[in-house]
Copies of this chain bind each other. A is one copy, B any other.
């Protein structure tokens, strides 16, 4: 299966990449044990690659009111709604690891309303889905509902921005026919893997 192309577009060899991109990729490989295909597939366009991962890090690595597991819930739920196989599989794995919960990713991917998550998290995902699917109707009532659950306005920006950014990511993955690495499927599913 690993012979399948990971993108419709040419995928650069590590050694042909600009130094900064190669360094980051090697660092990820070091940490994860493999290179997630998104790093290679998007490297076909170095300038876009740099902006993409800068944006990603600004949202996913920052401090804030959302836990890292909650951010991954947003990614998995909205990527499911956007029919993005790469992001559901890859971020499903990260969600399992971050939440230390082997079940939650598959639940959220299909129907977060029935997942083993808190009511506050379901409200968070209701809003993320509205950003993903019907952002023109976002209004004060949506903000009020989240504030009632204890989210600050900065948290709400985070929720919306993560949904918006992965909407971009989902579309790029669908455009390039990006293939999830085989490694993601099992990650975080086994007690020892946590």
A→B interface (CB under 8 Å): 1, 4, 8-9, 44-45, 47-48, 50-52, 54-55, 57-59, 62, 80, 82-85, 88-89, 92, 102-103, 106-107, 109-111, 113-116, 131-132, 135-139, 143, 153, 156-157, 160-161, 163-165, 167-168, 170-172, 174-177, 179, 182, 185-186, 189-190
Are B170 and A168 in contact, with the CB atoms below 8 A?
Answer: no
Are A164 and B153 in contact, with the CB atoms below 8 A?
Answer: no
Partner of A111, one of B92, B136, B189: B136
A136-B82, A174-B138, A175-B131 known; A89+B102 contact, CB < 8 A: no
Residues in B whose Cβ lies below 8 Å from that of A103: 1, 182, 185
A174 and chain B: residue at smallest CB distance: B135
Cα A4 to Cα B116 in complex, Å, equals: 9
Residues in B whose Cβ lies below 8 Å from that of A116: 1, 4
Number of this chain's copies in the complex: 6
A55-B55, A168-B167, A168-B168 known; A106+B135 contact, CB < 8 A: no
Which of A88, A111, A113, A115 has most B Cβ within 10 Å?
A111
Residues in B whose Cβ lies below 8 Å from that of A157: 9, 44-45, 175-176
Residues in B whose Cβ lies below 8 Å from that of A156: 175
**A-B residue pairs in contact (CB < 8 Å), sample of 29:** A8-B143, A8-B153, A9-B153, A45-B161, A47-B54, A48-B55, A48-B58, A48-B161, A51-B52, A51-B55, A82-B135, A82-B136, A83-B110, A103-B185, A109-B109, A109-B110, A114-B179, A132-B171, A135-B175, A160-B175, A161-B175, A164-B168, A164-B175, A165-B168, A167-B168, A167-B171, A185-B189, A186-B189, A186-B190
